[in-house]
A and B are shown apart, each in its own frame.
Chain A
């Protein structure tokens, strides 16, 4: 199959590569760019383990062709916070025990990262609805919801202090 020339910006870094048009974005991210934070749980856009941020929206990268991502700005879990400078969501997930096996966690945090930009002061019900595209088999969500609410409060406090 003939290949396409693609340009992507991932976590602020520019990449150029050749990929078959049918290649899935998740495979490009994991196998060509070696960013293995986003995971594969279903490949049918149900579980959200593969969630990345593309051009300011949460997308399930198992259901996006790499070709569709040409020219896109992408953020994966690896681009959200850094060792020693964690994002408040990363801190809050640990603090509130919002993860167990950790397999859903990169997708969860990446989705929550966008969700809190869409809705910086959500109610519990709004968090539950806003995160409903991401499945977790371990936690029962209660602590994930708690973590996101707490990160939202923390981020709002920091923002107010800055203003």
Chain B
């Protein structure tokens, strides 16, 4: 079956559309024609609709719930309250962080928008009408929205259910609103260095509360088949297998009787990792009614009740010598977790990987302590387009570097350069216990500074300040620098798990007789283009064209167990599993080829898409030939068929990095900030699909722009959410979004099978400090040290005003 007209090797490589190729996405054919299949598109016969009655109060006792008027509405099938769920022990549920959370209000409500009752009806309008008619008698209680006040001795007790419990899932609780104190590093040594340092800069850096707000909200359709006892749940799940396990543990239904399907997902960004009351209520309602039940949250519910992100008050101290060598770093975080600790972090990391806060710098000693605190705000604490708390850490260190530069009177780019971990120090042990796998920060930094003509910009900036002082302009120029290091790809099973499930991931490959294949993974795309990129990894490994490989994800009945997609873990973990499964295929293929060519296994070598007899290039078998033979030849000692499965437990995390520079024009009188130029250099190791990488960077930068410049979940003092619709919650349009220039260096991960590190979250991690530093930098000449995000027009105007720039 060898080809008649031989084609060149380059042509064969090109035909594969493998690693490094900007292959067009296979997903797009459906999506551009409106043929996506998202959860709200699903319509099952007899389907009912669920809608929540939510608390208008942030803290109140629920004295009674009268559902009679709602039940009287024609079409209403059921109204569930905590009382109905209690006999099933489902009125509370465990959170991913080792806490528990009310599914429906049990005696009291703890945040505005909390779920109190679940109305089920035969039509979504009827359900909404009936929800209005549920009468709830509340008694208001004092509200705490400030985590510092929550820890005061006389603060109201929020979690009465934890009364008297002085230890929680992560150690001691020292106050009734305290959740945990988590520490890393050497406190005594750090304090000692700081107390005797030549220079110390101290600052409170606040990373405000925000929300991932994917364009599609969360939702599900639960369907209990009473005949065969099987529960099927379609939903917006970033981790479908974990949802299946949780559903089994909660319901008592055996795992093989539960099928969880993530259809197309309209963006996740961390919002769709958690398990929400809506899923539990829909499942219960389906079991109770025997009909499929759909629950889709609206935008206001999404912003008020599911999965906030950040809300970290980071008090930092950084020590250095007079010439700018950093000698120590310390940070204490007051972490506002809201009413329940529902952070989505690996079990042993209640503050995620915040201890990556030493960033790209060689800092000999450091310490971090994080206090988790309950307040009357929504639970969540998800990694909004970042690995667990890595964005907070990157923002913290990149602000502290700027503050230190001010303290030293030094150029911030130079201060970074002299403190970078050097290339020859990798693998590098950080003071807080991480082993950075690889990096070349100086090369990336120099490339970035040259690309934007850094010195020229600084001259322009100085001229601008002079012109401003002379009254010739009202605009200042800010240069926002960032060099970030991420930690992604959770993670090694020895220290990373979610609810006890090790954070490995998986891939199963089946080669069909005529040389096409299907690969199934434990992850799930929410726009990252897995169907395109994982096929590319595989194409390069097994020599079948990516176009002949179907990638399937998200159906727990068919996909191998995996921990899902978030924290930039798909490429580092499932991508590795894909490569390893591909290599198993190739190993078997080699035996088959040897048999067919009547040579010894060792006499063959792999060449793009075929095994070739060494020294006899005209004698070969392509993978396509081998696939066919595996199904139709009796080969002694070799089982028929060509399949493989790999469960990959990564030996380490991966550490992508990058250098971002933002040039910003800041109008002193209006507070309007215009991004004039944005340069983003990313090093994500081996690049699988440059087009997809660039798209991820554009998207992540735009989310960073939103967060830094205006997006927040703001509460008033009685716990009302002030930013609950897209009118107040900032999502940039095409008009506000700047043009980005992307660039790269390529430092492969030494421990990943193909050297890839992951990229999806880098632009958010690096972008936020770049935008924020640009705003700060514009005012540096006038004495600004620190001002909290988001830098909306009013706040920027206020900076200028407080600095006396309005005359």
Q: Which residues of B contact A41 (CB under 8 A)?
A: 215-217, 266, 299
Which of A36, A46, A100 touches B699 (beta carbons < 8 Å)?
A100
With most chain A CB atoms within 10 A of its CB, the pick from B24, B34, B36 is B34
A109 at the interface (CB under 8 A from B): yes
Q: DSSP class of A's interface residues: helix, strand, loop or mixed?
A: loop
In the bound assembly, the distance between CA atoms of A105 and B30 in angstroms comes to: 10
Q: Which of B361-400 contact A (CB under 8 A)?
A: none
Shortest Cβ distance from residue A138 to the other chain B in the assembled complex, whole angstroms: 5
How far does the alpha carbon of A13 sit from the alpha carbon of B526 in the complex, in Å?
A: 33
- Residues in B1-39 with C-beta less than 8 Å from chain A: 24-25, 27-36, 38
B714-738 Cβ-contact flags toward A at 8 Å (1 or 0): 0000000000011100010111010
B213 beta carbon closer than 8 Å to chain A: yes
Cβ < 8 Å to B, chain A residues 117-158: 127-129, 131-145
In this complex, what residue of B is CB-closest to A35? B34
Complex formed: what's the CA distance from A40 to B215 in Å? Answer: 8
Main secondary structure of the interface of B (DSSP, over half): loop
Tell whether A95 is near chain B: CB-to-CB under 8 Å. yes
Closest chain-A Cβ to B544's Cβ sits at a distance in Å of: 23
Given that A103-B36, A103-B38, A103-B215 are contacting pairs, would A93 and B28 also be in contact in the complex, using a CB cutoff of 8 Å? yes
CA of A106 to CA of B264 in the docked complex: distance in angstroms? 14
Nearest-CB residue, chain A, relative to B24? A94
* B125 & A90 in contact (Cβ 8 Å cutoff): no
Closest to A100 in B: B527
Looking across the interface, which residue of chain A has its beta carbon closest to that of B124?
A27
Pair A137/B267 contact, Cβ less than 8 Å = yes
Known interface pairs A135-B215, A140-B701. Does A44 touch B265 (Cβ–Cβ under 8 Å)? no
> What is the CA–CA distance of A86 and B527 in the complex, to the nearest angstrom?
22
With A101-B214, A101-B526 as given contacts, are A141 and B737 in contact (CB-CB < 8 Å)? yes
Query: B419 interface residue, CB < 8 Å from A?
Result: no
Instruction: Determine if B506 is an interface residue (Cβ-Cβ < 8 Å).
Output: no
Q: A34-B43, A100-B529, A132-B734 are in contact. Are A42 and B266 (CB under 8 A)?
A: no
Contacts of B213 in A (CB 8 A): 137
CA distance A139 to B526 in the complex (A): 12
Name the one of B215, B528, B696, B725 contacting A104, with C-beta atoms under 8 angstroms: B215
- Over the window 24-67 of chain A, the binary record of Cβ atoms lying under 8 Å from chain B Cβ atoms (1 yes, 0 no) is 00010011001111111111101101000000000000000000
A97–B699 touching, CB < 8 Å: no
Q: Is the CB of B32 within 8 A of A86?
A: yes
> Which of B29, B125, B699 is in CB contact (< 8 Å) with A137?
B699
Stretch with Cβ within 8 A of A (4 or more), from B486-494, B687-695, B743-751? B687-695
Taking the complex as formed, is A74 at the interface, i.e. its CB lies under 8 A from any CB of chain B?
no
Contact A78 B33 (CB under 8 A): yes
A83 surroundings in chain B (CB, below 8 A)? 33
* Contact (A78, B216) CB under 8 Å given A36-B41, A142-B698, A142-B740: no
Interfacial chain B residues near A135, Cβ < 8 Å: 215, 726, 731, 733
B298 at the interface (CB under 8 A from A): yes
| Chain B contacts for A133, CB-based, 8 A | 733
How far is the CB of A37 from the nearest CB of chain B, in Å?
2
Residue of A nearest to B264 (CB): A102
Q: A10 at the A/B interface (Cβ < 8 Å)?
A: no
CA distance A31 to B36 in the complex (A): 15
Partner of B267, one of A30, A101, A141: A101
- Tell me, yes or no, whether A71 is within 8 Å of chain B by CB: no
Question: Is B190 interfacial (CB-CB < 8 Å)?
Answer: no
Given the known A-B contacts A94-B32, A102-B28, A128-B734, are A23 and B216 also in contact in the complex, defined by CB atoms under 8 Å? no
Contacts of B217 in A (CB 8 A): 41
CA–CA, A94 to B691, complex, Å? 11
**Which of B453-470 touch A at CB < 8 Å?**
none
B40 interfacial by beta-carbon distance below 8 Å: yes
Is the CB–CB distance between B735 and A140 below 8 Å?
Answer: no
Pick the residue among B28, B34, B214, B529 that contacts A77 (CB under 8 A): B34
Smallest Cβ-Cβ distance to A76: which chain B residue: B34
Report the bound CA distance from A135 to B730 in whole Å. 11
Interface contact B298-A43, CB-CB below 8 Å: yes
Asked whether, in the complex, the Cβ of B28 is within 8 Å of the Cβ of A99, the reply is yes
Tell whether, in the assembled complex, residue A102 and residue B726 are in contact, meaning their CB atoms are under 8 Å apart: no
**CB atoms of B215 and A101 under 8 A apart:** yes
**Complex alpha-carbon distance, A42 and B528, angstroms:** 23
Q: Are the CB atoms of B266 and A101 closer together than 8 Å?
A: yes
Residues of B within 8 Å of A40, CB to CB, are 40
A30, A35, A132, A144 interface centre (most CB from chain B within 10 Å) = A132
Given known contacts A36-B41, A44-B726, A94-B28, A77 and B266 CB-to-CB distance under 8 angstroms: no
CB within 8 Å of A: which B691-710 residues? 691-692, 694-703
| Pairwise interchain contact A141-B215, C-beta atoms closer than 8 A | no
11 interchain pairs, CB-CB under 8 A? A49-B215, A78-B33, A86-B33, A97-B692, A100-B267, A103-B215, A103-B527, A128-B735, A129-B735, A139-B695, A139-B702
Q: What are the nearest 5 A-B pairs in CB distance?
A: A37-B34, A101-B527, A103-B266, A102-B31, A140-B698
